[in-house]
Chain A
């Protein structure tokens, strides 16, 4: 023992000692009270298990340590337990209570691993315990635990299939889960337990489509393959004759919604179900995944679901996979081979990627050859044949033989080159390598059969070569050819027979059979010359050692030689032997593989693997598509209850996330502002962190509502939804349709407490300006929406003027990401991270996008570090409503200490003018060298661009600084419908209107670019417009709340009429100048 201890570090995992150590020693080590000894013993035992040695007799000693505190030891015990529990069921039960306890552990990781092990112990007695544990875990707060429970479902199902019904209930519940973490695992469980319960998917279909991009890669594969099957049952075939393909498809990424709107309006024979399109659109980006399995699964989805002309989208990605590992190549090539049979055009442009290299493995070479053959057509055949010439010479003879077969196939498929191929093959007959020659003969034989034209020259040539060919198969083929076409070579054939009669005894069996055949055929056609020869050969055959040959000889003799016994058959001998034979079909080995779904194991093996789900055929008539619509669950009672209940209601309204998610992605594109948003977001989160110290909790809640408001408020569409929501809140209108989805989810999550809101708000805040709530799912008529919008704009003002802060108000605004920061102190960290896991956005939970999704955030210098004696300050306008007073403009100041000493007591000193209403930040006690801090202030500029001057003081010094706002920053986005806009505009004519024709840079002529430029200049909201050449933006001044309406009518080429209507004419002219400048520059 001592020796072992001394160097057990070095050899801790070494196999040498394992053989020396006996089980008794290990047992002793396990029972000692030293942790290190126990751990050491367990490591050795795991080593034994890994080697496949039996360590089951240590079970009692090991299982005692299941409750050990040492996490590594515990894990190793788990490994052991899972391995041997099945064999030692009674003893395994001793450990169950430990897991049951661990299932209640506050640490989610412990809960999850307990469930993992518990469900992995395959002991039938504990099935009820597992069932309870799974049900509880499925409702756990932590998505990680819920994910584990989805895995456990499969384990329990394989242990006891009788639990199916109960498990389906759990699956149904988990399918509604909004976490991307859970999605993949639960679909896996679904596929395992109840793949036929397609009805469970309906309500989750859109959610799954939209979550897909964010699901981890393995889950993506499973979900995609499930959705492929689902789509085949729910949508009609897009391949029908005269099918309408929306040309917008390619644009789908950029302006997805316009297309969706168009679809139903156009009256065409085939219209793709928007949900069908949604699936295609959302899977396409995954072609760029680094995971080859994901790419392949998207490719097969396109193959099986997309309209024919769209399938080629997957070509490049599949070809890319050929750069990957050999095994990947193998599978991908198999699939390409199947595809290329039906769709040559798809892979023809990348034909050269299938050129064979001498270093490829044989099975790869053969597959490439297969594909090249499939791709061959009149245009490229010469290139391919030239390439084949190289392959024929390959040292890999099996491959060379395969190439010859491929040449044969090309010759049959493309009649133009048939002769060339045939001549080429004949040349190969003089090849030194037997296999090559043999293969050539066989292929020539097949070719000649398919070519009814005269080829006596070739047959003669082959007869000449006959003496040199030794491969039996080839000799047999030549003999067969001679016999079959003996009338075309009347002189040579009998001569060949003569030679064969000489060598009959030494030939291989297969050759002998053909000699007999040849003899018989010649006897029938040319009995004068060959009668004796034939009889001689038949006699030889009669006494051959092989009974097949004896049989054949006897049969032939009876057939051809007339005798009294042979009877009627004799007359038909000629018709039997010399019947025209159908040409063999030279076709791809992959021809029938398309009966299997691409990318599956069954396809790869070309046999049905167990558990293979048949891909259903398209239905003739699409089933009811409304089943996928999701009702809104009115989030009534979620506001009050504790945070602990947060998850349940959320899982109900799965569809919300869809739209948000979608919007978020599109938004980030169109506005291209992620840089700014991310940069400022960290600032803003810091800011709120610092505020939380000084502000009361009430204010911090207000913070969330306010900042959220601004972030969404700048875009017409998203604040539309905010408005909808508000209206709903105040009036408690129950909506049945899915339309105001985004809005609802906000309110819902918000209702659960500010903490949960981060995900939805980030999604929402970055939502694109042009997206509106009429997604593809949107079945509400626009009119209905307008009505709502009409109602809503008034309550908005009222709410704003309300000073009291209540949770209800909070719901009126889109929630803000910061809200979780101030609250975090209240929550356990694990809970917080749980909730973060729910986030659907691409961005990390810590860098929530809080700014509106436009333009780069301009940062201005407030104080240079030279003048500030080391203190430098920068400021920018976060464009969030100021939380201190509604009439103030929020300003964020980043203070940095560039000096080498600590700065103390940084605060705001005197202001000028003294009446200036500033909400200062709290004094910063210390700022370390190189540190920086972001603080926020509120300044009431009274709707003027007059600079706000104040002093920024440290303990020793004071520095005069000034903040001069751009006019666009003095505005607040306002939302209204087009009608409202026109109505308001009508009231602000004459003096209140200012307009000018401006010239725009060419880069700015697209509507996206216009919105981007305008929004970067001014904090306005987009008003959705029905005319594409009209852009409208609306806002209110911060202090007085006067309307500012900007409209831009794009004329031909680059000129546009810019009109601003507002009572604040000074602001209008300044705004006009700024906008003109912004639009003129690219």
Chain B
């Protein structure tokens, strides 16, 4: 399946290669680099490419290209999903997934890749299993290893690998047993010029952090499970149980994981927490334009809107901006033409406002389309869909865990067209 993997940075340097079958020359990447040159933005490189003898499937993440070489027919999503899993694993192990950190940990990276694939077929992709085989690097451990000569590599087959719950380590022990669940909902919306909702939906995710000893069997139930329209689960969730009773029953992995993601049925009207009044215009004569944006609370359910931020991708012709913000501050990146207005908390009494002039390159045609506004916001203690966790029960172990549920609403892909 996956023949080789090349890691390429955004400038086009190949800084790591790994082959699971016979070696393929890195010359194969030239095809890719050629396409990359043509595509202005790295995002625009098509994920699947064909070369005379190979197929190249790549992902672009954290300013790195993960390029895999394929020789025969394989579902492309299989490879893409796996490459993302690799990137996730690096993130998990090293805290970030960047060129420098991968170079610094090249041996661990190699050991990981060796375990993750055998002959191009995924072998162990669960973080809990990998961590039993190859311990993540920590400063303390590297010091200890140097002194004692012990290694980072386990010599036992991780227990999870054989069991039906490969996601969980065996013999987990904590002094404080705790299970936290974060219900995070994101509003994806497109608002048109006049503030009407063109499209809005809620995507939710339940992130869990469980530190529980032994083999706990958890059951999480909701007050209003009917809200959930489409769901996907971590493999630990017993699907049949959900089908019949609408409860999540699972033996959790150890540590952080995504328990489920869901989509709230589109019949429910989505509450849009803020309104945006905007007026961006470029004058026909003279090389300038005007910008005036006001944001105020709309349906916030009485909660505070925080982390408010507006991003505007200005047309290329806009040279500079001269604005005043009634709250927060703004930055304009001359190179990328991105205007960022960081507002912070939304004051319901005094809606924040940003206004001023834009200076446009003289001679350039008037930009035809006004730039869309991307809104970011956060509302703590609220799941905008109204989803509520009813209770969490634990079976199979005798201790009483500390349980907690937190709700949060965020703006996902929240765009205002102008």
* Residues of A that sit less than 8 Å from B by CB: 8-9, 12-15, 35-36, 39, 43, 46-47, 49-52, 70-73, 75-76, 78-79, 83, 86, 107-110, 112, 116, 119-120, 122, 142-144, 148, 151-152, 154-155, 158, 180-181, 185, 188, 213-214, 216-218, 221, 225, 253-254, 285, 288-293, 295-297, 316-317, 319-320, 323, 325-328, 330-332, 349-350, 352-353, 355, 357-359, 361-363, 387, 390, 393-395, 431-433, 599-602, 604-605, 607, 609-613, 665-666, 668-670, 672, 674-676, 678-679, 681-682, 833-834, 836-837, 839-847, 896, 932
| With known contacts A72-B153, A317-B232, A666–B240 Cβ distance under 8 A | yes
Q: Is the CB of B59 within 8 A of A358?
A: no
Q: Does B154 contact A (CB under 8 A)?
A: yes
Q: Is the CB of A845 within 8 A of B395?
A: no
Q: Which A residue's beta carbon lies closest to that of B159?
A: A833
| With known contacts A331-B77, A605-B55, A71–B151 Cβ distance under 8 A | yes
With both chains docked as a complex, state the minimum distance between the C-beta of A281 and any C-beta of chain B, in angstroms.
12
Q: Is the CB of B244 within 8 A of A672?
A: yes
Of A9, A50, A350, the contact of B109 (CB 8 Å cutoff): A50
Of B22, B114, B122, B152, the contact of A218 (CB 8 Å cutoff): B122
| With known contacts A107-B156, A612-B73, A288–B231 Cβ distance under 8 A | yes
A–B pairs, 22, beta carbons within 8 Å = A13-B105, A14-B103, A36-B146, A39-B151, A50-B16, A151-B121, A151-B123, A181-B161, A290-B233, A297-B77, A316-B229, A325-B61, A328-B77, A395-B315, A432-B368, A668-B241, A670-B244, A675-B217, A675-B393, A834-B162, A839-B163, A844-B215
Q: Is the CB of A601 within 8 A of B109?
A: no
Considering the chains assembled together, what is the distance between the CA atoms of A723 and B341 in angstroms? 74
Q: Is the CB of B203 within 8 A of A600?
A: no
With both chains docked as a complex, state the minimum distance between the C-beta of A35 and any C-beta of chain B, in angstroms.
5
Q: Does B43 contact A (CB under 8 A)?
A: yes
A72: chain B residues at CB < 8 Å are 111, 151-153
- Top 10 A-B pairs, shortest CB-CB distance: A611-B72, A72-B151, A679-B395, A109-B157, A837-B162, A393-B369, A327-B47, A669-B244, A72-B153, A678-B217
- Residue among A75, A119, A666, A840 with the highest chain B CB neighbour number at 10 A: A75
Q: Is the CB of A296 within 8 A of B149?
A: no
| With known contacts A293-B81, A609-B73, A79–B114 Cβ distance under 8 A | yes
A666: chain B residues at CB < 8 Å are 240
A317: chain B residues at CB < 8 Å are 230, 232
With both chains docked as a complex, state the minimum distance between the C-beta of A16 and any C-beta of chain B, in angstroms.
10
CB within 8 Å of A: which B379-400 residues:
393, 395-398
A71: chain B residues at CB < 8 Å are 151, 153-155
B372: chain A residues at CB < 8 Å are 357-359
Of B15, B44, B107, the contact of A51 (CB 8 Å cutoff): B15
Q: Does B279 contact A (CB under 8 A)?
A: no
Sample of 7 more A-B contacts, CB < 8 Å, known A253-B240, A390-B417: A13-B106, A36-B149, A50-B109, A358-B415, A363-B44, A600-B76, A844-B215
| With known contacts A218-B78, A225-B75, A328-B77, A682–B397 Cβ distance under 8 A | yes
Q: Is the CB of A296 within 8 A of B75?
A: yes
B243: chain A residues at CB < 8 Å are 253-254, 285, 669
With both chains docked as a complex, state the minimum distance between the C-beta of A318 and any C-beta of chain B, in angstroms.
10
Q: Is the CB of A842 within 8 A of B74?
A: no
B155: chain A residues at CB < 8 Å are 71, 107, 109-110
Considering the chains assembled together, what is the distance between the CA atoms of A672 and B151 in angstroms? 46
Of B43, B72, B80, B201, the contact of A331 (CB 8 Å cutoff): B80
Considering the chains assembled together, what is the distance between the CA atoms of A668 and B238 in angstroms? 10
Q: Is the CB of B55 within 8 A of A601?
A: yes
B159: chain A residues at CB < 8 Å are 833
Q: Is the CB of A601 within 8 A of B70?
A: yes
CB within 8 Å of A: which B313-372 residues:
313, 315-316, 365-369, 371-372
| With known contacts A316-B263, A395-B369, A607-B50, A355–B199 Cβ distance under 8 A | yes
Q: Is the CB of B77 within 8 A of A609?
A: no
| With known contacts A50-B106, A86-B22, A607-B50, A288–B198 Cβ distance under 8 A | no
Considering the chains assembled together, what is the distance between the CA atoms of A845 and B233 in angstroms? 21
CB within 8 Å of A: which B4-36 residues:
14-19, 21-23, 26
Of A155, A600, A665, A836, the contact of B73 (CB 8 Å cutoff): A600
Q: Is the CB of A289 within 8 A of B413?
A: no
Q: Which B residue's beta carbon lies closest to that of A42?
A: B107
Q: Is the CB of A83 within 8 A of B240?
A: no
With both chains docked as a complex, state the minimum distance between the C-beta of A286 and any C-beta of chain B, in angstroms.
9
Q: Is the CB of A361 within 8 A of B73?
A: no
- Residue among B41, B50, B78 with the highest chain A CB neighbour number at 10 A: B78
With both chains docked as a complex, state the minimum distance between the C-beta of B398 and any C-beta of chain A, in angstroms.
6
| With known contacts A72-B152, A79-B114, A289-B235, A844–B73 Cβ distance under 8 A | no
Q: Does B142 contact A (CB under 8 A)?
A: yes
With both chains docked as a complex, state the minimum distance between the C-beta of A113 and any C-beta of chain B, in angstroms.
9
B245: chain A residues at CB < 8 Å are 669, 672
Q: Which A residue's beta carbon lies closest to that of B87?
A: A325
Considering the chains assembled together, what is the distance between the CA atoms of A289 and B80 in angstroms? 16
| With known contacts A357-B190, A363-B46, A610-B72, A841–B164 Cβ distance under 8 A | yes
Q: Is the CB of A323 within 8 A of B203?
A: yes
Q: Is the CB of A293 within 8 A of B78?
A: yes
Of B60, B71, B398, the contact of A326 (CB 8 Å cutoff): B60
Q: Which A residue's beta carbon lies closest to that of B205?
A: A323
A180: chain B residues at CB < 8 Å are 164
Q: Does B131 contact A (CB under 8 A)?
A: no
Q: Is the CB of A844 within 8 A of B168?
A: yes
| With known contacts A599-B75, A601-B74, A678-B396, A50–B315 Cβ distance under 8 A | no
A841: chain B residues at CB < 8 Å are 164
Q: Is the CB of A605 within 8 A of B397?
A: no
Considering the chains assembled together, what is the distance between the CA atoms of A406 and B102 in angstroms? 44
Q: Is the CB of A331 within 8 A of B76?
A: yes
Considering the chains assembled together, what is the distance between the CA atoms of A350 and B188 in angstroms? 14
Q: Does B249 contact A (CB under 8 A)?
A: yes
Considering the chains assembled together, what is the distance between the CA atoms of A349 and B267 in angstroms? 11
